[in-house]
Chains A and B, each alone.
Chain A
């Protein structure tokens, strides 16, 4: 058995330039042959990310106010990720819509600022926001709970201005690749990974962002595989049936227009493990002036999770401590009930030793400054992790919130600030089992 790192070019490479709004194709398709064992954790999507002036084609300069989401980096350029079998092409293993928002949640919950700086920034340019080391606390004349957000935003921007663009080599955040350390490509009949690029207006933001677009140059997929010996191939070939167990994310989108709103999803999923949601004012989406991948709290007053209209998995409502007479910026709570359950949706919150979630970065002020980490979620099956059946059920949540615009966070409630529309992105993590009958097809077992 020997190990090789395949370096696969897109099947639709063309000139090697991919872009949503500039020159080039907005979709990148990679085909992986049906040979060997794929080491899924080590698969990487790589290329060069370039931000260029719409008119002159000149590279971004650090003085221009053009930003990419700090928690997502180059990952924010992906709108949709689809993983499917090549041979059984009518079957997708996983399709994640609004991929950037999922990555934003996953990375900000499971990595702290130091992680972003020392690992994720090398892979995808995402430097995060917040405190790196104790030195950050005492720098720039800070008085304990601040950091130089302006400085950190510039720091995030500088690598994108590098001559030739920002090279990247990043993991693809999805249940399929994260849950199966080894995928027998022969059993799967090869794989097709399709990446659809995100609108420029949802990737770049800032005062000068509308004058720029992004490009991805020479994308490649680095695929580590173990090549089996002839004896192992023979042994594998003699078994015509193969079972695959893996996790996948299902993504859904809703808008919340009412301060008392019910979100209901008919997911038709079998083993649902957890759900997460993140929120953004609807007007911030595809808006060059705002970070479309930013995370916001719609000022939740009460949140109740349901299955078929009954409270589940929590028998109680999450009701953060709020003072009705205080403006949003002056609310004292750090919403621990909500954020603890949010973390629990990724893994047992007691096992999460570091996270970007903290009282500073999750505060209302950081939402106003577009640097925040905030979301909701819960684990449906924290004990066995087998997931709950929801094929015939409806999953959802009831949300009571103030829906204030971030600019109104400082407005006193007595002034009756008007609510706005918020968008909520829901992701369900579920367990799948499929049976592949070689040469015939793939069927979902559970």
Chain B
């Protein structure tokens, strides 16, 4: 009967192949070590099952506050925007001993990906997965108020405890940790082991937010990642498809697939000597003769706005600080990408908005003027927030910690924008390296208080250049080629 029905009468006609099977497994780590205030490392030796490793797996772990004293009103939680991502330092995947994917400063890079999901998703899904809290509302004074966190020992609290059975549990998609999974599935029939390595950031001041009324003693600033594990899906195709795939990757001609790789380039903007000094820094990015899709840039003041601490107390490492009179330019093939330096903040947002898959959803106030306003009445956000703790205790400093601190930069070099970007859409860089030109000036012309020690200080610049690589699967082996 089906055969005589014209397709137009079917609302969702799909070519269904029932012979494809998915096997889902939980995969514990082969090894996991943790050195407080130093680093952690986890190694997974992935099972080789089915025909391909699917891209929709995830990494799960528990966060434990080993140093919790629970004697006074102190508490620990994860950064509100990004949550547990602050703990993920690097992620590498090897196949047959070859490095096929590496993502450095992975947490911050994945935090950028999270921006390109709708705010509803951030509130309703990411907050569940990552232990973050994107909820807010506008109070009667017109200020954006971060919603209070749930108190200790309540349902859905974000507080980290020292407990074997009441840890905060979080997860990150495999696709985010290993960007190549956005473009290809990984055949499991090739020679050699598949190894996934995670480097953790074990430093308290990079990952954990303190709440409550008291200060956490230095000796108690000790947390750990517990029981990291993978949820993986393996796909088994029908015999015909599986055989064709095996024949192809075992043959002399082989199969070549393009995929993206986010390469981190670190640099520093040096400190400025005084007010009104204009500073221009050229950062040689490299990538001559390579295909490049896009760039993402994170800027971190090496000194927080209070002039004392090195890390943003409420957002930790998941920040991109707006700089005073910030300007940038990208030189590709000796040509300026932008006619004029990009200096208007909404224009920076527009470019970021065009860089990801979807629109960039960034909380109002966190992209514009930097830090607490020097002029009364011009702050966008309320200055206090209630973090998880035994007793509701408002923590101040939201304006310094959040306003203008999510100013991520994105530049898309894609040739055409017809939906999500693909490696095929990359631009070829010629013989000369790409150069990122960053300019800033110590004098503020915005709402923010000018010329603070923090604003004049040095800035850590993390640039992820998304370039194209290819895997060549031939004679049962995998080769990786730069494109």
Q: Which residues of A contact B359 (CB under 8 A)?
A: 115, 119
Give the dominant DSSP class at A's interface: mixed
Query: Contacts A158-B377, A158-B380, A162-B446 hold; do A122 and B138 have CB atoms under 8 A apart?
Result: no
| In contact, A123 and B142 (Cβ under 8 angstroms) | no
| In contact, B349 and A132 (Cβ under 8 angstroms) | no
Once the chains are docked, how many angstroms separate the CA of A155 from the CA of B368?
Answer: 14
A-B contacts, CB under 8 A, total: 178
Q: Which of B408-426 contact A (CB under 8 A)?
A: 413-418
Flag whether B29 is at the interface (Cβ < 8 A).
no
Query: Contacts A2-B333, A150-B140 hold; do A134 and B135 have CB atoms under 8 A apart?
Result: yes
| In contact, B350 and A7 (Cβ under 8 angstroms) | no
Stretch at the interface among A163-171, A341-349, A409-417: A163-171
Flag whether A56 is at the interface (Cβ < 8 A).
no
Min distance, Cβ A210 to any Cβ of chain B, angstroms: 22
Q: Which residues of B contact A170 (CB under 8 A)?
A: 346
| In contact, A135 and B142 (Cβ under 8 angstroms) | no
Flag whether A117 is at the interface (Cβ < 8 A).
yes
Once the chains are docked, how many angstroms separate the CA of A48 from the CA of B380?
Answer: 18
Pick the contact of B142 from A112, A121, A158, A182 — CB < 8 Å?
A: A158
| In contact, B416 and A119 (Cβ under 8 angstroms) | no
| In contact, B377 and A42 (Cβ under 8 angstroms) | no
Flag whether A267 is at the interface (Cβ < 8 A).
no
Q: Render A1-45 as a binary contact track against B, CB cut-off 8 A, 1 for contact.
A: 111111110000000000000000000000000000001011010
Query: Contacts A62-B142, A119-B359, A136-B137 hold; do A162 and B335 have CB atoms under 8 A apart?
Result: no
Once the chains are docked, how many angstroms separate the CA of A132 from the CA of B137?
Answer: 6
Q: Which of B444-465 contact A (CB under 8 A)?
A: 445-447
| In contact, B415 and A3 (Cβ under 8 angstroms) | yes
Once the chains are docked, how many angstroms separate the CA of A48 from the CA of B415?
Answer: 29
Flag whether A148 is at the interface (Cβ < 8 A).
yes
Q: Render A304-347 as a binary contact track against B, CB cut-off 8 A, 1 for contact.
A: 00000000000000000000000000000000000000000000
| In contact, A354 and B118 (Cβ under 8 angstroms) | yes
| In contact, B120 and A114 (Cβ under 8 angstroms) | yes
Flag whether A159 is at the interface (Cβ < 8 A).
yes
Query: Contacts A117-B363, A119-B361 hold; do A136 and B380 have CB atoms under 8 A apart?
Result: no
Total residues of chain A contacting the partner, CB 8 A: 60
Once the chains are docked, how many angstroms separate the CA of A167 from the CA of B414?
Answer: 26
Stretch at the interface among B143-151, B181-189, B222-230, B232-240: B143-151
Pick the contact of B138 from A115, A118, A123, A155 — CB < 8 Å?
A: A155
| In contact, B147 and A42 (Cβ under 8 angstroms) | no
Q: Render A126-160 as a binary contact track against B, CB cut-off 8 A, 1 for contact.
A: 01000011111001100000011011111111110
Once the chains are docked, how many angstroms separate the CA of A181 from the CA of B118?
Answer: 23
Q: Which residues of A contact B346 (CB under 8 A)?
A: 46, 122-124, 167-170
Once the chains are docked, how many angstroms separate the CA of A25 from the CA of B359?
Answer: 34
> In the complex, which residue of chain B has the Cβ closest to the Cβ of A8?
B339
Flag whether A161 is at the interface (Cβ < 8 A).
yes
Once the chains are docked, how many angstroms separate the CA of A4 from the CA of B427?
Answer: 12
| In contact, A159 and B417 (Cβ under 8 angstroms) | no
| In contact, A148 and B354 (Cβ under 8 angstroms) | no
| In contact, B350 and A133 (Cβ under 8 angstroms) | no
Flag whether A61 is at the interface (Cβ < 8 A).
yes
Pick the contact of A4 from B136, B336, B347 — CB < 8 Å?
A: B336
| In contact, A135 and B136 (Cβ under 8 angstroms) | yes
Min distance, Cβ B18 to any Cβ of chain A, angstroms: 28
Once the chains are docked, how many angstroms separate the CA of A115 from the CA of B335?
Answer: 35
| In contact, A122 and B142 (Cβ under 8 angstroms) | no
Flag whether A226 is at the interface (Cβ < 8 A).
yes
| Contact size range, B | 35 or more
Q: Which residues of B contact A135 (CB under 8 A)?
A: 135-137, 147
Query: Contacts A122-B362, A135-B137, A181-B418 hold; do A155 and B380 have CB atoms under 8 A apart?
Result: yes
Flag whether B364 is at the interface (Cβ < 8 A).
yes
Once the chains are docked, how many angstroms separate the CA of A4 from the CA of B412?
Answer: 11
Flag whether B139 is at the interface (Cβ < 8 A).
yes
Q: Which residues of A contact B337 (CB under 8 A)?
A: 3-5
Flag whether B10 is at the interface (Cβ < 8 A).
no
Q: Which residues of B contact A117 (CB under 8 A)?
A: 119, 363-364
Min distance, Cβ A103 to any Cβ of chain B, angstroms: 16
Once the chains are docked, how many angstroms separate the CA of A6 from the CA of B143?
Answer: 37
Flag whether B378 is at the interface (Cβ < 8 A).
yes
Min distance, Cβ B379 to any Cβ of chain A, angstroms: 8
Q: Which residues of B contact A123 (CB under 8 A)?
A: 346, 349-350, 353
Flag whether B344 is at the interface (Cβ < 8 A).
yes
| In contact, B369 and A46 (Cβ under 8 angstroms) | no
Once the chains are docked, how many angstroms separate the CA of A268 from the CA of B272?
Answer: 64
Min distance, Cβ B437 to any Cβ of chain A, angstroms: 14
Flag whether B375 is at the interface (Cβ < 8 A).
yes
Q: Which residues of B contact A154 (CB under 8 A)?
A: 141-142
Q: Which residues of A contact B344 (CB under 8 A)?
A: 46, 48, 167, 169
Q: Which residues of B contact A222 (CB under 8 A)?
A: 347, 350
Once the chains are docked, how many angstroms separate the CA of A122 from the CA of B377?
Answer: 19
Q: Which of B380-400 contact A (CB under 8 A)?
A: 380
> In the complex, which residue of chain A has the Cβ closest to the Cβ of B115?
A118
> In the complex, which residue of chain A has the Cβ closest to the Cβ of B139?
A151
Once the chains are docked, how many angstroms separate the CA of A140 from the CA of B369?
Answer: 26
Min distance, Cβ B93 to any Cβ of chain A, angstroms: 31
| In contact, A122 and B416 (Cβ under 8 angstroms) | no
Once the chains are docked, how many angstroms separate the CA of A44 from the CA of B354?
Answer: 11
Once the chains are docked, how many angstroms separate the CA of A330 from the CA of B113?
Answer: 46
Query: Contacts A5-B337, A181-B416 hold; do A118 and B347 have CB atoms under 8 A apart?
Result: no
Query: Contacts A114-B118, A119-B360 hold; do A63 and B377 have CB atoms under 8 A apart?
Result: yes
Q: Which residues of A contact B445 (CB under 8 A)?
A: 163-164
Q: Which residues of A contact B245 (CB under 8 A)?
A: none
Q: Which of B118, B346, B377, B379 has the largest count of A CB atoms less than 10 A from its CB?
A: B346
| In contact, B362 and A133 (Cβ under 8 angstroms) | no
Once the chains are docked, how many angstroms separate the CA of A44 from the CA of B347?
Answer: 8
Flag whether B367 is at the interface (Cβ < 8 A).
yes
Once the chains are docked, how many angstroms separate the CA of A251 from the CA of B142?
Answer: 35
Once the chains are docked, how many angstroms separate the CA of A208 from the CA of B246?
Answer: 75
Q: Which residues of B contact A63 (CB under 8 A)?
A: 377
Min distance, Cβ B237 to any Cβ of chain A, angstroms: 32
Once the chains are docked, how many angstroms separate the CA of A8 from the CA of B340?
Answer: 10
Once the chains are docked, how many angstroms separate the CA of A94 from the CA of B32?
Answer: 63
Once the chains are docked, how many angstroms separate the CA of A222 from the CA of B349?
Answer: 13
Flag whether B202 is at the interface (Cβ < 8 A).
no
Query: Contacts A163-B446, A181-B417 hold; do A119 and B353 have CB atoms under 8 A apart?
Result: yes
Q: Which residues of A contact B137 (CB under 8 A)?
A: 132-133, 135-136, 139-140, 147-148
Min distance, Cβ A336 to any Cβ of chain B, angstroms: 22
30 residue pairs of the A-B complex, CB under 8 angstroms, read: A2-B335, A2-B427, A7-B339, A41-B417, A115-B359, A119-B359, A121-B364, A122-B346, A122-B353, A122-B367, A122-B368, A123-B353, A124-B346, A132-B136, A133-B137, A134-B135, A135-B137, A135-B147, A136-B136, A139-B138, A139-B139, A148-B140, A152-B138, A155-B364, A157-B142, A158-B379, A159-B380, A167-B345, A169-B347, A222-B347
Interface residues, chain A, CB within 8 Å of chain B?
1-8, 39, 41-42, 44, 46, 48, 61-63, 112, 114-115, 117-119, 121-124, 127, 132-136, 139-140, 147-148, 150-159, 161-164, 167-170, 181-182, 222, 226, 354
8 more CB-based (< 8 A) A-B contacts, given A147-B138, A159-B380, A162-B446: A2-B427, A44-B347, A119-B359, A122-B353, A155-B138, A159-B368, A161-B378, A226-B415
